[in-house]
Structure 1
Amino acid sequence: MKTFKNLSILLMAITVVVLAGCTQSANSEDVTTLRLGHIQNESHAWHQGAIRFAELVEEKTNGSVQVDIYPSSTLGSDRDLIEGMQIGSVDFALAAGVMSNFHQPYAILEAPYMFQDLEHLEDFLYGESGKNLQQEMLDETGVRGLEFWIRGPRQLTTNKLVERPSDLQGVKIRVPNIEASVESWTAMGSNPTPMNFSEVYSSLQTGVIDAQENPISFTANAQIQDVQDYLIMTNHVYGYVQLLMSDLTYEKLDGSEQQAVEEAAQEARNYQNEIVFQEEEKALQDMKEAGVEVIEVDTEPFEELVQPVHERLADKYGRDLYETIVNLR
């Protein structure tokens, strides 16, 4: 009897394990796993915001949708991520100015000194004009803008003291491959050189370029302070990053999951926007401690030089959009 009893217990245990395995398998089949890519490293505010977004999506869908995060250009450059969302190989991405290469009116937002300060930028992004721009982008590209996240203002780093536009003569400066950036830095007197950010450190180290411009946290996380002497506080772009989603992916989700993703995006925006400027302050301190000299400049002469660029962009990509931004000042 004891043998039969033990055998019965063993069979029951096996049954439980098998059933548990079947349940786990069934549950795993019900989970949709999506991929989110970005170009920053894991210490950056973008990544922290992405983690919060993934947590919220899982929570709000009761685990039916999970988001795996791929930082540090693991899924490719900004452009690769956008193209991936258009064909459905990438589900989400955090991307900034590169969208102007896919929906051209974004070029106006990327022009240096288009926005006067952070409040001016937020008034545009979080108003009807920002929503309209995202809808136009969706219609043209198949990429859905979920939320705008705020970035710190872009600053210039160099190995040459720059206090006025004339100091930029002959300076080879890395810029993103964005029309507004190339034209504006040309107008300010420099020699702009578009390249992927992943190439910037080595290019500065070897003298291929002399300077670069980015938010301070972006710059510090890439250890640019090791190969640059000056941080020039130009405040030339008050910018954003967008949390984007492939519309092909969006349409595969059911209505409740779509709503959950949208709610998670908004809450993650608020979270990221709270921590991004804390990160900027820490990054500035890190750069100072590394020996980088911080230079405050009068930005008005720089602003004056890019006004013709503003006008060209307005004529080319939308006078109405340009006037909307100007009128919010």
Structure 2
Amino acid sequence: MVKRMTKLLLVLALALVATACGGGTETQDANADGSGQKEVVKLKLGHIATENDAWHKGALKFAELVEQKTNGEVIVEVFPSSTLGNDRDLIEGMQLGSVDFALVAGVLSNFYEPYSILELPYLFRDKEHLEKVLYGPIGEELKAELLENAQLRGLQFWMRGPRELTANKKVETLEDLKGLKIRVPEIPASLAAWEAMGATPTPMAFGEVYSALQTGVIDAQENPRALIASSKFQEVQKYLMKTDHVFGYVLLTMSDITYNKLTPEQQKAIEEAAKEATDYENQLVFELEDQLLEELTNAGMEFVELDVAPFVEAVQPVHQEFAAKYGQELYDKIVNTK
């Protein structure tokens, strides 16, 4: 009898310890009358954009859909404005399992190099070309390879508005780029391309860009209109050049460690929610493009349209270099997608 009681007490003690160390999960009543219990899994999603950005609104929609589709079993908390760190921090966090989801883009090329090709300026002809690549076999292949090589699970590609150049001097020709100190993300393709166009690129975390522009550490930066407006770069930049040099994406990415902790039903719900949130975010992005331009020009920025043909020609050697280094076959498939 004494042995039996000792075993029972030991089991109870272990149960209490397990409850106390439950980490990111908690339990709550399965229904209003408390007739059952379910485990609630709380997950974190980080990104670098502000709360006004389409990324954030898309992330909130994703969180809402996940909660609905799992009947409240999985809750996604969204952290904007680099609260969980910059792009590199978020990616490393997902690899460690300390971050569950992130919206990340070009910095992925530092973790799986073929993604560098997607960052080449003037690779994509227009938005439709980008969509055909990302939402076809090439996009599926890219996600599968990211999982295999970097242990990052790409859920869905989200569209972004084209990247455009802002500066405190008017840029209309390649000559105007000479000596221009331009912030670029930590992406080799961006560095090489802007050097080829004659600028002086400076890699810098996104959260530092506003103050660097304000203090004159850099002269220019390049981003989609949505990030320009939500980050208030119009307060510290005079000109907005319609370079449209990158038709780009952001990838809703998930830690594979987190994914494998979930039930098959929860995994399926997350995948479905990601797809539905993609449709929502993509529509929002392109509905806002004209409105954002009006907002930026009303704030005092001068909008400059220019002939991009010389810019396209200047980056062709970089295209060839990166294709040879990171995947000629991938590059050719993208260029030949009609």
Same fold (TM over 0.5): yes
Kindly indicate whether residue 100 of structure 2 is the aligned counterpart of residue 91 of structure 1: yes
Which residue number in structure 1 is paired with residue 233 of structure 2? 224
The 2-side partners of 1:22 and 1:117 are apart by 50
Do 1:217 and 1:284's aligned partners in 2 also have CA atoms closer than 8 Å?
A: no
1:292–1:146 distance in 2 versus 1, CA, 3 Å: same
1:282 aligns with 2:302: no
Tell me, in whole angstroms, the C-alpha distance in 2 between the residues paired with 1:181 and 1:280: 23
d(CA) in 2 for partners of 1:303, 1:156: 15
Give the structure 2 partner of residue 9 of structure 1: none
Deviations 1:121-157 (A, max 9, x none): 0010000111001100100111100000000000000
Aligned counterparts, 1:206-245, within 5 A: 206-245=215-254
Pick from 174, 181, 194 the counterpart of residue 183 of structure 2: 174
- Runs of 4+ aligned structure 1 residues displaced above 3 Å come to 19-29
Evaluate the alpha carbon distance shift between residue 22 and residue 240 of structure 1 in structure 2; reply closer, same or farther with a 3 A threshold.
Answer: closer
1:128 equivalent in structure 2: 137
Confirm or deny: 8 A CA contact 1:145 1:244 kept in the other structure.
yes
CA–CA separation in structure 2 for the residues paired with 1:83 and 1:217:
26
Please tell me the residue identity of whatever aligns with 1:169. Answer: K
The aligned runs of 1:13-28 (5 Å cut-off) are: none
* 1:56 paired residue number: 65
Question: Which residue pairs with 1:117 in the alignment?
Answer: 126
**What is the Cα deviation at residue 167 of structure 1?**
0.6
CA deviation profile, 1:221-275 (whole Å, cap 9, x unmatched): 1110111110000000000000000000101111111110000000000000010
User: Counterpart in 2 of 1:150?
Assistant: 159
Q: CA deviation at 1:285?
A: 1.0
> Aligned pairs, how many?
311
Cα distance in 1 for partners of 2:74, 2:33 equals 15
Call closer, same or farther: CA 1:298–1:57 in 2, change over 3 Å: same
The one of 191, 200, 225 aligned to 1:191: 200
Q: CA deviation at 1:286?
A: 1.1
- What is the 5 A alignment of 1:237-256? 237-256=246-265
AA at the equivalent of 2:63? A
Code of the aligned partner of 1:168: L
Partner of 1:258: 267
1:155–1:235: 8 Å Cα contact kept in structure 2?
Answer: yes
* 3-state SS of paired residue (1:124): helix
Supply the AA of the counterpart residue of 1:81: L
Matched, 1:108 2:117: yes
Instruction: Give the TM-score, by structure 1 length.
Output: 0.92
Counterparts of 1:104 and 1:78, CA distance in 2: 16
d(CA) in 2 for partners of 1:169, 1:20: 64
Distance 1:22 1:42 in 2: 32
Segment of structure 1 superposing worse, 80-89 or 274-283: 274-283
Aligned to 2:169: 160
* 1:278 CA drift (Å): 2.3
The match for 2:213 is 204
CA contact (8 A) 1:33 1:66 kept: yes
Q: TM-score, normalised by structure 2?
A: 0.89
* CA displacement at 1:281 relative to structure 2: 2.2
Counterpart of 1:59 in 2: which secondary structure? helix
> How far did residue 22 of structure 1 move?
12
Corresponding letter in the other structure for 1:204: L
Partner of 1:42: 51
Kept in 2, the 8 Å contact 1:111–1:237? The answer is yes
* 1:300-311 equivalences in 2 (<5 Å): 300-311=309-320
| Counterpart-to-counterpart distance in 2, 1:103 and 1:218 | 25
CA distance in 2 between counterparts of 1:144 and 1:113 reads: 27
Counterpart CA distance in 2 for 1:106 and 1:65 is 31
